[in-house]
Amino acid sequence: MNTPFADQSIILKIEMGPDQGRRAFLPDSEQSPWTLGRSIESSFPILDSQISSHHSEIRFTESGHQIRDLSSRNGTYVNNEKIFDWHPLSVDDVIRIGTTELSVKRTSDHPTPPTPSSESIELSHTILTDPGSGKGPERCPRCLQFIEIESTPVRRVSCYVFCSPCIENEDAAGRRMKNLTLLYELGRGAIGVVYRARHELLEMDVAVKILHSQFSHDSTQRERFLREARIGMSLVHPHILRVHDIDHDGDQLFLTTEYIPGQDLSHRILEQGPQPLEFSIPLGIRMAQALHFGHSHEVIHRDVKPGNILLDENDIPRLADFNIARAAQFTPASQNTPQGVVIGTLRYMAPEQLDVNRPVDHRADLYALGATLFHTLTGEPPFNTDNRLRLIRDVLTAAPPLASDRRPDLPAALDQIFQTVLAQDPSDRYPSGSAFAEALAYIG
C-alpha cells in the first residue's frame, strides 16, 4: 500500500528507460517547482526522445509532494493514470513519461551507493543550469550523457564541458567570431557550414551559418547570403526560423539564427520511416501557414523540402534556409538567376520551376510542401528515381501518384488533397497557403 511521505529524504529513481539507474533528491521545501524533461535546463534532464523538453514538474507543499503535466506531447502518468493538474505523490508511486518509468522512494529504503555520491546527486540539477561549475557530474551538451569530470577526459569550450569523443574531431570548437564561440558542427551544404555556438554577451546558444571561404569574394553568393539574412530577419513567425543578425569576421560572412535542438524532417523520416497522421497533418498545416505568411510579405521560398524543416524537441517545425528565396512573383527577365540555371531540389520542384521560360509564383512553394508532406506520410517523394532525365520527365508530364497506393491506411480524402496541390497547372492548385492549411484541417 502506498504511504504518504514521512520526515525522510525522498528520491526519484529511473527504473526503466535510456537513463535507467539515475536518481535525484526531490525538493523538500516550498521552492520553485522542480521540472522533468529533455531540456538541459530541466531540474532533472532525462535522455528520452519521447518526452518533451519541459514535460512535467514536481512541487513540495505542506501536504507533501505533487506532480503535474506541462502540456507535454505524450502525457504524464502516475500508477498508469494520466494526470493533468497537480496530483499527490506517495512512496512507491510509479511515474511514466515517454518510455521512462520513475519510482518514488525513501532514502532509508534505497541506500545511496558511493558513486555517484549523494552530494553529487543533489548538485546535478544545479550544475546543469550553471554549466562549467566544475563540481560533480556534468552533462555533455552534444550527446547529453553525464560526465564524471574528475575521472573522464573532457574539454571545456565556453561555459560547457564536452566528453572527448564528442569534440575530438571538431577543429572549429573554441574558435571566436566576434561575440560568438563555436561549439560543434551541425551540418554543411553547398553554400556554407552551420555550427552550434555560444553568444557570450547574450549568454545563449545560437546557430551560426558561415559562408564557405571560397565564396568570400563571389558577389552572387554573397548577395544570396545577405538576402537570406534580410528575409529571415523580416519574417517573424512561430514556424519560420528566426534570423538574429548578420556580420563578418574578416572576409568571412556569417549569420546567426535561433538554435533548434532536435533534427530536420529528412533525418526523422530516414530514421523512423513514414510518419503517422497525427504528426504529419499538424506539420503540414503549420508549414502551409508559414508559407502563407511569407507569401503575404511577398517572399517565396523556392526550396521547400524535408531537409529545410527543422523539428524541435516537441516536434514543433520551423521552415529554414531562405538562401534562394525571391520576390513573391518573378519572371525570367526579373530574376538574378543566370539564364538556363534551375534552382531548387528536383524531387520537390514544381513543373514550372524546370522551365526557365515560365513564370514562377507562390504556388510552386505549395507544390513543394505537398511533395514534402507526401514524402512524410509514405516514406518517399511522389516522383522518386535516381535517373535524373526520367525524374524530370515525370515531374513535367506525369500525373501525381495516389498516396493510398503506397500506404493503404491513409484516408481517401488525402488523395484528393495531393491531386490538387501537386497539379501540373498552378491554376489547378490551392490558391494560397491558408487554403491548403484549411484542406488539411479537415483531415486532422
| Residues contacting residue 30 through CB under 8 Å, at least 6 positions apart | 59, 60, 61
In this structure, is the dihedral angle defined by the CA atoms of residues 409, 411, 416 and 422, taken in order, positive or negative? negative
The x, y and z cell numbers of residue 32, run together, are: 520553485
Selection from 229, 195, 220, 198 nearest residue 209 by Cα: 195
How many separate helices (H) and strands (E) can be counted in the chain? 10, 28
Query: What are the CA-CA distances from residue 19 to residues 49, 51, 144, 181 (Å)?
Result: 11, 13, 10, 30
Question: Are residues 27 and 59 in contact, defined by beta-carbon separation less than 8 angstroms?
Answer: yes
Selection from 290, 270, 215 nearest residue 248 by Cα: 215
Q: How far apart are CA 331 and CA 323, in angstroms?
A: 18
**Judging by DSSP bridges, how do beta strands 329-330 and 360-361 pair with one another?**
antiparallel
CB atoms within 10 A of CB 361: 18
Enumerate the active-site residues.
303
Q: How many residues does the chain have?
A: 444
